[in-house]
Chain A
C-alpha cells in the first residue's frame, strides 16, 4: 500500500460544485502539503499544515480551503469549482521539524472542471 494515498484519483465535475480531495498518510509525518501542477508551470503550493492546529497558506490559496482532521489526514476543498482549477493535485508529507524538508508525494488527483 502507498504511504501517501489520495482519493479520488480522477474526478470530473461542473462549474459551481463543491469538491473535496482527500489525503491520508501512514508515514507518521507531522507536516502535510497540497500542491497543484499545471503544464509548464511546475508545482505550486496551495496550503500546508504542521499539525492538526496549524494551517498555512501557500502561494496560490485563493479559491481553496483545507482541513487537517487528524495527524494522518489532510483534505483540500474547492467550495465552488471553476474551470481554471482544472489541474493535477498532489498531497505530500515531510518529516522531522528540522529535517531537510524532503517531500513524499501521493500519486495525484486529476480534477477536471467543466
Chain B
C-alpha cells in the first residue's frame, strides 16, 4: 500500500526567508504526487502536482516542488515566504487500480508558522 511521510510536524520560518517542506512517499510504480495547502478554517487548495515529465514543477503562489525518484521525495520549496503562507501543508500520493483513481493518500501535514 502507498504511504506518505512528512517528517516535520511544525516549521517556523521568518518572513522573507526561504522554505523547504519535506515529503517522502512509498508507492510501487511511478507516482502521481500532490501538494495541498489548508489555510485556517478553509478547505484544501491544490498548490501543484507531478505526474510525468520535468521533475521540477511550478505551482501557484510562487511554490515549486522537485520529484526525486532515487530518494522517493517530493519536497516543496519557496524562495521567500510571506505572512500569508502560514497554513497547514499536505503532501499526497495517488492510488490507482484497474478502475482508475482510488483517491489520494495524505501525509499527516506540516504546520507552517511565519515569524515577522
**Interface residues in chain A, defined as those with a beta carbon under 8 Å from any beta carbon in chain B:** 31, 33, 35, 40-45, 48, 50, 56, 58, 90, 94, 96-108
Contact = CB atoms under 8 A, between A and B. Distances in A.
B56 interface: no
Interface in B65-116: 90, 94-96, 99-109
A94 B106 contact: no
Nearest to A6: B43
Interface residues of B, number: 26
Contacts of A103: 34, 44, 46, 103-104
A42 B107 contact: yes
B102 A48 contact: yes
Contact of A40 (B46, B102, B104, B108): B108
A99 to B, nearest CB: 7
A42 B95 CA distance: 16
